[in-house]
């Protein structure tokens, strides 16, 4: 190719945030164009007429190439200084920042790790002691889910409340005290307005409207969203959804869910 005729014949839409790099190889007669791309973006690369070879033969027709980039890979990370982070177990409440991107749910488990097992894990693998450690299932303290809602390709910070008593009450300011737990069969006690079952808390798609005496197993949670405690439940058609346990009305708690064996009286 006549290298002088290649300049300014290629346009890229949308325009990259920096100018592309161009390189013509005399070895294999290839013309390389490289530029930074954004995720989930429709690109159009246009090759204009006018490029010529060294004999004067010219490209006379426009060629357009279109493609779409993939989204960023899903990502989740605890914001700790390394494989292991140290926190005060005697604190009333323990908090931990995490980041996530392009995921919808975080499945979380909290275990009690005896000191001897912790020391042994550090001694065996100082570089991957946490990621390679498999806890004893009998030491499970808490099992819950956290809805991870964010814009596509956007990294979001979350404040994870572990809680000294493994409850969500202190970790959800303004919410009525939580009385349910995973494994309970809840019953709708709200009347006459139904309870909205959502795909995610707090503003996910409404999957169903649940009226008084509707029974539903609690299979996940809790999580705090919009100053309410939310639980993941299983609907009659086996779909999973998120429902708020209680709301504040005129400064007083109004429970939407109760226990199966106690009707309108909350007695879990």
Q: How does pLDDT run across 16-52, given as a tens digit for each residue?
A: 999 999 999 989 989 999 999 999 999 999 999 999 9
Q: How does pLDDT run across 212-253, given as a tens digit for each residue?
A: 999 999 888 777 888 888 888 999 998 999 999 998 888 888
What's the total number of domains in the chain?
Answer: 3
Q: Is the pTM of this model over 0.75?
A: no
Q: Which residue has the tokens 């956007």?
A: 154
- Residue 29: inside a domain: yes
Q: Report yes or no: 164 and 92 within 8 Å, Cβ to Cβ.
A: yes
Q: How does pLDDT run across 51-71, given as a tens digit for each residue?
A: 999 999 999 999 999 999 999
Q: Minimal CA–CA distance to 135: which of 149, 121, 123?
A: 121
- Please name every residue paired with 186 in a beta bridge, in sequence order, or none if there are none: 216, 259
Q: Report yes or no: 82 and 129 within 8 Å, Cβ to Cβ.
A: no
Q: Select from 68, 88, 117 the last residue of a domain.
A: 68
Q: Are residues 157 and 85 in the same domain?
A: yes
Q: Are residues 16 and 89 in the same domain?
A: no
Torsion of CA 165, 166, 170, 175, to 10 degrees: -130
The CATH number given to whatever domain includes residue 247 is 2.30.30
- Residue 266: inside a domain: no
Provide the 8-state DSSP code for 180.
-
Residues 6+ apart with CB under 8 A from 145: 105, 106, 107, 108, 220, 221, 223, 232
For residue 181, the Cα-to-chain-centroid distance in whole angstroms is 23
């Amino acid at each position: 190719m006549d290298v002088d005729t290649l300049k300014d014949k290629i346009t890229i839409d949308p325009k990259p945030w920096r100018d592309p790099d161009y390189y013509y190889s005399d070895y294999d007669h290839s013309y390389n164009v490289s530029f930074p791309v954004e995720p989930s973006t429709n690109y159009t690369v246009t090759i204009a007429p006018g490029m010529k070879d060294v004999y004067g033969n010219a490209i006379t027709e426009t060629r357009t190439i279109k493609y779409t980039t993939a989204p960023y890979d899903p990502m989740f990370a605890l914001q700790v200084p390394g494989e292991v982070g140290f926190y005060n177990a005697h604190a009333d409440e323990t908090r931990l920042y995490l980041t996530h991107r392009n995921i919808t749910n975080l499945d979380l488990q909290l275990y009690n790790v005896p000191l001897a097992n912790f020391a042994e894990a550090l001694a065996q693998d100082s570089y991957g002691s946490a990621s390679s450690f498999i806890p004893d299932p009998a030491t499970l303290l808490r099992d819950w889910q956290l809805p991870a809602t964010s814009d596509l390709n956007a990294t979001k910070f979350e404040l994870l409340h572990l809680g000294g008593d493994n409850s969500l009450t202190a970790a959800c300011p303004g919410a009525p005290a939580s009385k349910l737990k995973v494994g309970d069969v809840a019953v709708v006690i709200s009347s006459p307005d139904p309870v909205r079952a959502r795909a995610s808390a707090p503003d996910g798609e409404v999957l169903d409207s649940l009226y008084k005496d509707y029974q539903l197993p609690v299979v996940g949670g809790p999580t705090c969203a919009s100053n309410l405690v939310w639980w993941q439940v299983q609907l009659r058609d086996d779909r999973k959804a998120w429902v708020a346990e209680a709301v504040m009305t005129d400064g007083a708690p109004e429970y939407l869910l109760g226990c199966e064996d106690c009707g309108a009286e909350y007695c879990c």
